[in-house]
Amino acid sequence: MVKVNGVEMDVSGKTVSELLEAEGYQPAVVAVELNEVILPKAEYGSTVLKDGDIAEVVSFVGGG
Amino acid sequence: MSGAAELRLPTEAEMYQALCERHGAQMQRKFSEGAVAVCGLGGLGSNIAVSLARAGVGRLLLLDFDRVDLSNLNRQQYFPDQLGMPKAEALSDTLHRIAPYCRIESQTVRLSEENIPVLLRDYPVICEAFDRADQKAMLVNTVLTALPEAVLIAGSGMAGLGSPNKIRTRKTSEHFYLCGDGESDSAKGLGLISARVAVCAAHQATVALQVLAGRIDI
| ipTM metric | 0.95
Cα–Cα separations (whole angstroms), residue B181 to A61, B105, B161, B201: 10, 31, 12, 12
Closest chain A residue to B201, measured at CA: A64
The share of chain B scoring above pLDDT 90, in percent, equals: 95
Pairing assessment for the beta strands B35-39 and B125-128 based on DSSP bridges: parallel
CB atoms within 10 A of CB B194: 14
Q: What is the greatest pairwise CA distance in chain A? A: 37
In a domain, A26, yes or no: yes
**Could you tell me the sign of the dihedral formed by the alpha carbons of B63, B86, B58, B202, in that order?**
negative
- Find chain A residues with C-beta within 8 A of B197's C-beta: 63-64
Q: Which residues pair with B104 in a beta bridge?
A: B60
Burial class (CB in 10 A: 0-12, 13-18, 19+), B68: buried
* pLDDT attached to residue B4: 60
For chain B, which domains are there? 39-213 (3.40.50.720)
- SS3 category, B118: helix
* Contact present, B107 and B88 (Cβ < 8 Å): yes
pLDDT category at B143 given cuts 50, 70, 90 is very high
* Contact present, B47 and B77 (Cβ < 8 Å): yes
**Averaged pLDDT, B50-73:** 98
- Find chain B residues with C-beta within 8 A of A56's C-beta: 172-173
Closest chain B residue to A64, measured at CA: B131
In a domain, A52, yes or no: yes
In a domain, A42, yes or no: yes
C-alpha B151/C-alpha B212 separation (Å) is 10
Q: Comparing C-alpha atoms, which of B211, B192, B210, B166 is closest to residue B46?
A: B192
C-alpha A57/C-alpha A9 separation (Å) is 13
**Averaged pLDDT, B85-97:** 98
In a domain, A6, yes or no: yes
Mean pLDDT estimate for chain B? 96
Closest chain A residue to B132, measured at CA: A62
* pLDDT attached to residue B155: 98
* pLDDT attached to residue B111: 98
pLDDT digits (tens, 9 = 90+) for B21-45: 999 999 999 999 999 999 999 999 9
* pLDDT attached to residue B75: 98
Least CB–CB distance from A61: residue in B157, B173, B197: B157
What Rg value do the Cα atoms of chain B yield, rounded? 17
pLDDT category at B189 given cuts 50, 70, 90 is confident
The share of chain A scoring above pLDDT 90, in percent, equals: 100
Please give the tally of structural domains in chain A: 1
Pick the more confident residue, B113 or B1.
B113
Q: Which residues pair with A56 in a beta bridge?
A: A33
Is the pLDDT confidence value at B1 over 60? no
* Contact present, B197 and B158 (Cβ < 8 Å): yes
Least CB–CB distance from A60: residue in B136, B173, B197: B136
Is the pLDDT confidence value at B3 over 80? no
CATH of the domain at A14: 3.10.20.30
* pLDDT attached to residue B2: 52
In a domain, A7, yes or no: yes
- Contact B159/A41, CB-based, under 8 Å? no
Q: Mention every residue, 6+ apart, whose C-beta is less than 8 A from residue B182.
A: A59, A61, B156, B157
Is the pLDDT confidence value at B135 over 90? yes
- SS3 category, B160: coil
- Find chain A residues with C-beta within 8 A of B130's C-beta: 64
Residue ranges in chain A whose pLDDT is less than 70: none
Q: Which domain holds residue A22?
A: 2-59
In a domain, A64, yes or no: no
